[in-house]
Amino acid sequence: MSENGHENKSIILPSSITVRELAVSLGSSPIDIIKTLMSNGVMANINQQIDFDTAAIVAAEMGFEASLETIAEEIKEDLGEVPLWRQVIMNEDPAKLVPRPPVVTILGHVDHGKTTLLDAIRHTNVVEGEAGGITQHIGAYQAEHNGRLITFLDTPGHAAFTAMRARGAQGADVVVLVVAADDGVMPQTREAIAHARAAKVPIVVAANKIDKPNADLDRLKQQLAEVGLVPDDWDGDTIVVPLSAKRKIGLDDLMEAILLVADNLEILANPDGQVLGTVIEAERDRTRGPLATLLVQNGTLQVGDVVIAGNTYGRLKAMFDNRGRRVRKAGPSTPVSVMGLSDVPEAGDIFRTVENERDARSIVAERIQQQRESTRAQRNTMTLEQLFDRFQSGDVRELPLIIKADVQGSLEPIIHEVNELGKGDIKINILYAETGNIGENDVMLASASKAIVIGFNVQADTAARRLADSEGVDIRLYDIIYRLTEDLEKALKGMLEPEERQVVIGHAQVRAVFRISKLGNVAGCLVTSGELRRNAYIRVLRNGSVVHEGPIGSLKHLQEDVREVRTGFECGVSVKQFDDFKVGDELECFVTEKVAVA
């Protein structure tokens, strides 16, 4: 009984919950929760995690009796280096493995013809459906060539691909890289190559738009050779298929090439084994409820199966193929659109079947719980400091790197030096090395590949730094090659000094610039968040780019030298060896602290 004489309502809470989630669970407002916490001596913001005991006290004050959620044992899903579905297949009885159709994903620079190619193959090689003769867009389809099937993932673009890889669920056996023969190798082409290499998926090049008068196949082959894709007619091992997606020329050659590459790989699965695969697409249909396209990668999925996909589950009520036909079974490499999940899973989620809905429910509850508890420290990414431990434990035998430098001239010696270092036990795998600042794409790829981003005489832009922070990606900036190689060498030997990490403590906006004879230019600022500290560093940001970074020279408030200035106050700041403030610049104030080796 509670104090007010009413019986307490009971509520089940997890071992850790955010203030916001607790408010939702208790049907209260976050403000009330924060107030209740404060009255119990706990200061918390809305996104803060609080433990069960604390949440239970708050709940009790609000008339609830809380009990701790019990957790069912989950089958361990180790998303290590090898995608889970491949691990499952590797664990199957080899005698039961049979060939399955190759799964192909199409990548390439924007406007080089990915969509046109996917449409051309669909219209040429997919037998039209009976219902109205229209193929359905379900995110994947199967095409036929000489009586053999090829599964195409019909979601071009790197975002989907990266999302899938980030979850360790990369599903493709072969990448078709579309490069327009009139345009050649472009930034996203290189990015796509890096993605495919990181996922260790072979590439077939579709040299598209050969119908165009300015198409230049030789120049394209030259460029491909330069990025390590040496065409087979130049004694390399990359098949380059000239084609025109628009005029449907060369499509058969492409299908032939895909099957040729596939025949050199072991593309196998056990149709009678554990049912598992990847969610390709999912949406909520107004009449039919959650619809998801599942790519079966092992086993045979059947109507009536209970499926867990990401954080959702359900018993499959119906399945459709890409021709819109109802099917009862789907074997390995088959994409099917399914009805019956209780909610919409995310593209890239892994699905598998379980015995019954009770198991499904408890596994999903446990999964949600674990996600809540997962902190930055537990993320799948790593820092240079953490590498050695992982090398030693045998978890990792390879150090993936992304290298960005100011000019081509500095890239070459860096690549050379780094490759020298990678000749020992632990291989260094350069995903790509390019000129230019570090951007979001670099960080996204690093996160998906557990790579470290190395910058030489370049900066990371604001968005990249923010993403790196939230994804836990290690960006390391150098201006001396020797320092860079020294750090890598130390990391490989486990001798890296504790890292100095930058902690941002405040922001200010430049409102005016004054010339003071002794100090040079001083920025008149308003502190917009946190504080500026006299012994800290300033990063000057203009239109999102870093224009300078350096120690504070002087910090004044109303002509007085001060040690710190807080949010809402004005101040005058000078930065050592920097004069070029502009009105509108943003100043980011940071301190460095040493972080112990993890």
Q: How many residues at the interface with ligand GDP, by CB under 6 A?
A: 16
Shortest distance (Å) from residue 12 CB to ligand GDP: 48
Shortest distance (Å) from residue 190 CB to ligand GDP: 15
CB atoms within 10 A of CB 258: 25
Shortest distance (Å) from residue 116 CB to ligand GDP: 3
Question: Which of 208, 485 has the CB closer to ligand GDP?
Answer: 208
Q: What angle do CA 450, 294, 172 make, to 5 degrees?
A: 45
Task: Rule CB under 6 A: say whether 521 interacts with ligand GDP.
Answer: no
**What is the Cα–Cα distance from 343 to 205, expressed in whole angstroms?**
38
**What is the Cα–Cα distance from 173 to 166, expressed in whole angstroms?**
17
Cα dist. 380→17, 36, 273, 335, 450 in Å? 22, 36, 28, 28, 7
List the 350-354 sheet strands across, edge first.
312-315, 306-309, 350-354, 276-285, 289-298, 335-339, 318-320, 326-327
Task: Rule CB under 6 A: say whether 245 interacts with ligand GDP.
Answer: yes
Task: Rule CB under 6 A: say whether 54 interacts with ligand GDP.
Answer: no
Interface with ligand GDP (CB under 6 A), residue from 105, 151, 238, 244 = 244
**What is the Cα–Cα distance from 453 to 435, expressed in whole angstroms?**
13
- Can you point out the beta strands (E) in 128-275? 140-145, 148-153, 174-180, 203-208, 240-242, 268-269
From the list 98, 101, 150, 81, the residue with the least C-alpha distance to 273 is: 98
Shortest distance (Å) from residue 239 CB to ligand GDP: 18
Interface with ligand GDP (CB under 6 A), residue from 61, 92, 111, 253 = 111
Task: Rule CB under 6 A: say whether 390 interacts with ligand GDP.
Answer: no
Question: Which of 178, 387 has the CB closer to ligand GDP?
Answer: 178
**Binding segment for ligand GDP among 82-90, 207-215, 408-416, 465-473 (CB under 6 A)?**
207-215
Tokens of 356: 């019954």
Shortest distance (Å) from residue 471 CB to ligand GDP: 26
Question: Which of 61, 119 has the CB closer to ligand GDP?
Answer: 119
**Binding segment for ligand GDP among 44-52, 88-96, 186-194, 243-251 (CB under 6 A)?**
243-251
**Binding segment for ligand GDP among 12-20, 103-111, 440-448, 529-537 (CB under 6 A)?**
103-111
Find where tokens 């500095």 sit. Answer: 410
Interface with ligand GDP (CB under 6 A), residue from 14, 30, 101, 113 = 113
Can you tell me whether residue 129 is helix, strand or coil? Answer: coil
Shortest distance (Å) from residue 127 CB to ligand GDP: 23
Interface with ligand GDP (CB under 6 A), residue from 13, 37, 107, 114 = 114
Question: Which of 211, 440 has the CB closer to ligand GDP?
Answer: 211
Residue 555 has phi, psi (to 5 degrees) of: -135, 120
Task: Rule CB under 6 A: say whether 110 interacts with ligand GDP.
Answer: yes
Task: Rule CB under 6 A: say whether 212 interacts with ligand GDP.
Answer: yes
- Positive or negative CA dihedral for 294, 91, 162, 149? negative
Task: Rule CB under 6 A: say whether 162 interacts with ligand GDP.
Answer: no
The radius of gyration computed from the CA coordinates of the chain, to the nearest angstrom, equals 28
Contact 319, 127 (CB under 8 A): no
Question: Which of 245, 467 has the CB closer to ligand GDP?
Answer: 245
Question: Which of 20, 248 has the CB closer to ligand GDP?
Answer: 248
Interface with ligand GDP (CB under 6 A), residue from 32, 81, 92, 211 = 211
Question: Which of 123, 466 has the CB closer to ligand GDP?
Answer: 123
Longest dimension (CA), the chain: 87
Contact 168, 84 (CB under 8 A): yes
Residues that bind ligand GDP (CB under 6 A): 108, 110-116, 156, 208-209, 211-212, 244-246
